[in-house]
Structure 1
């Protein structure tokens, strides 16, 4: 039940300021590749979160490379990452994470918000996750009115939508020694929270063959495009329960009268658990060796499993017990279930820290021009953040 002490700070949470911030931030295009928009968004976050106690820094991204159609790895630029550190000397500390980037590029057609009804806001990044960032702030502001002793870090990265490659070292560093973590991905349909998540790996297989004239001496060539297609077929055939494989794109080729000597296969693999991850690595090694031998080509693999599988341990179950009890006390019970998506919660869980990674707004159709946010979830989820932080402070994880 909600006590008198808890009611006092929860009553300070109001929907309109959270909604106003969400609309302001959604109007800023911060697609992962829009460095100017990300810079603007990071500056807005720094200005707004400055109302909380603690030190704000904008952290430079770690170096990241991506394989192009020429088969070479090229450096790609990322935006800086936002970090707020509050009471860093506290004995017990929590990590809260979110992302400022969206999937909508600067030239995407979906750039403006409109209302579908009195409670449904249609707009880019509203659910994923400008609304989540705004309610996180409101929840922390309310928590700061509760006489807090818990320390915490807030990390908002600029590259979550592309795998957090430039922020992964920062996430790992900030996760160390934390009591728990809360991540502000939007809730699943119906307000359900995510339980276990698979891992995810993105790869580029660079296939190098030998060029030759397609009419005079094709037998002297080694067709890299055919080899890449064979690799795609073998990987696709290897999918099974616990492992999805998605060959997504082949780049390369040559003029019609030339045997192509270069092709790049881009693909994604998602292992459900640690055993599936080990099996995926074996499948990958075997398929590459078999295709290289069968086609007499060289294959260089770029990429890796940047998101480890996120199984559910006892500490995470205890954290969800605290979150679900708080939600029930607020009159909005939540459940959780396994999902096929991945997020920064995968990276945090790999550090041994219990994490609930769908603390954000309710909505749906994310990553599409139909994305929407349920406005009434903003203040409710902000109160949930404040109450969870307060109870972690007063009680720790439940037994």
Structure 2
């Protein structure tokens, strides 16, 4: 702490007094599963009230249209909640982006709905680490920045989307617009329990492959049918063989079929790809195209592909290296060891990095067991990580870059 300037010490003291734990507990009590539109709307309104403590213009932005493939192959529109967008000092010389998400993976019918305090003091609650804790400490950090004499040098946008847990399809365009012209971005996904950050990330692609065959009687004339289930199974096997180190392929589900005495004329195969780099995306797309073509010909069926590689891989480039080095140095001045490692998970950091903006996407609270009933947040990490963010932002404001 000896190396901190006077206004940096003031920022650390400012975040120490922020009501982050109380906010986390109140926000976790609001079910904001992505598909719970009423809950997401309530969460958005609560966050808008909290973030209105910051200067600038705040708005709830309508989601972009999103479609999905139903189990019967129909293409339907999917409803999403609005996204929170805050713009502060757009004419300031240094511009940054801060992002988070208000949605969780816990729907209204999920068994995990309440908060408990573990014997070790950790908060076990839906969305505590992922990422209502991150949202609370983001706000605390920005309020500390606003109280600093350096504040006028920096402008920023805050995007808190409603659909990160399902791929950010309804907010991708907003994130891209907000990333323009930014020298750096911080995203508030949780760090690991020991504080380790995510460094490089792989990408992801999700596809629904709709197979249309021909019905026939299973006993009298099966040869006249074209079995969509068999074709989908063949497709799944061929795609699974495309996996390798750096490209995992997961055929996750086959839907379709009907009575035992009818050759099924419809199936939907859902498959997930996890490419580690751009070359793996090209390889995955080629494998997908080849498998569709060959299976369609072999089984005399039609196959329609829906989906995309919506999260590109996030490498550590020169800009990201500088940003990580800055956060490491800030951590050292705060007595916090900062390390990072590759992650196979994906988040909005992938999309931001694809815009050419250096990003660290695990600036949130320390915690673990996310996406499970054991999800937990370590409460003492709230002020420590808020201080880490505040000082990182202040130093970027003073330098003009990471």
> TM-score, structure 1 length as denominator?
0.98
2:354 maps to what in 1?
Answer: 350
| TM-aligned CA deviation for residue 259 of structure 1 | 0.4
> RMSD of the TM alignment (CA)?
0.9
| TM-aligned CA deviation for residue 14 of structure 1 | 2.2
* 1:15–1:378 contact (8 Å) kept in structure 2: no
| TM-aligned CA deviation for residue 90 of structure 1 | 1.5
2:294 maps to what in 1?
Answer: 290
| TM-aligned CA deviation for residue 218 of structure 1 | 0.2
Residues of 2 paired with 1:146 and 1:215: CA distance?
79
Match of 1:251, SS state, is strand
2:36 to 34, 45, 48: 34
| TM-aligned CA deviation for residue 118 of structure 1 | 5.1
Residues of 1 paired with 2:36 and 2:132: CA distance?
16
1:271 to 253, 275, 279: 275
1:236 maps to what in 2?
Answer: 240
Question: Which runs of 5 or more structure 2 residues have no equivalent in the other structure?
Answer: none
Aligned length: 398
Residues of 1 paired with 2:225 and 2:308: CA distance?
30
After TM superposition, where is structure 1 displaced by more than 3 Å over at least 4 residues in a row?
A: none
What are the Cα deviations for residues 293-327 of structure 1, in whole angstroms up to 9, with x where unaligned? 11111000000011011111000000111111111
| TM-aligned CA deviation for residue 91 of structure 1 | 2.5
| TM-aligned CA deviation for residue 244 of structure 1 | 0.6
Residues of 1 paired with 2:120 and 2:203: CA distance?
38
**Is residue 2:373 matched to residue 1:362?**
no
2:121 maps to what in 1?
Answer: 119
Residues of 2 paired with 1:238 and 1:276: CA distance?
10
| TM-aligned CA deviation for residue 15 of structure 1 | 5.9
| TM-aligned CA deviation for residue 162 of structure 1 | 0.2
1:224 maps to what in 2?
Answer: 228
Residues of 2 paired with 1:198 and 1:12: CA distance?
36
Residues of 2 paired with 1:154 and 1:349: CA distance?
16
Residues of 1 paired with 2:240 and 2:285: CA distance?
14
2:381 to 357, 360, 377: 377
Alignment of 1:19-168 (within 5 A): 19-117=21-119, 119-147=121-149, 148=151, 149-168=153-172
What are the Cα deviations for residues 229-251 of structure 1, in whole angstroms up to 9, with x where unaligned? 11111111110011011111111
Residues of 2 paired with 1:16 and 1:56: CA distance?
21
> TM-score, structure 2 length as denominator?
0.98
Residues of 2 paired with 1:231 and 1:83: CA distance?
42
1:260 maps to what in 2?
Answer: 264
What are the Cα deviations for residues 146-191 of structure 1, in whole angstroms up to 9, with x where unaligned? 1212000000000000000000010011111111000000002421
What are the Cα deviations for residues 322-344 of structure 1, in whole angstroms up to 9, with x where unaligned? 11111111111110010100000
Question: Which runs of 5 or more structure 1 residues have no equivalent in the other structure?
Answer: none
What are the Cα deviations for residues 84-122 of structure 1, in whole angstroms up to 9, with x where unaligned? 100011232100000000000011111111110353111
**Is residue 2:340 matched to residue 1:336?**
yes
* 1:32–1:101 contact (8 Å) kept in structure 2: yes
* 2:193–2:378 contact (8 Å) kept in structure 1: no
Match of 1:293, SS state, is helix
* 1:225–1:260 contact (8 Å) kept in structure 2: yes
Match of 1:154, SS state, is strand
Residues of 2 paired with 1:396 and 1:251: CA distance?
53
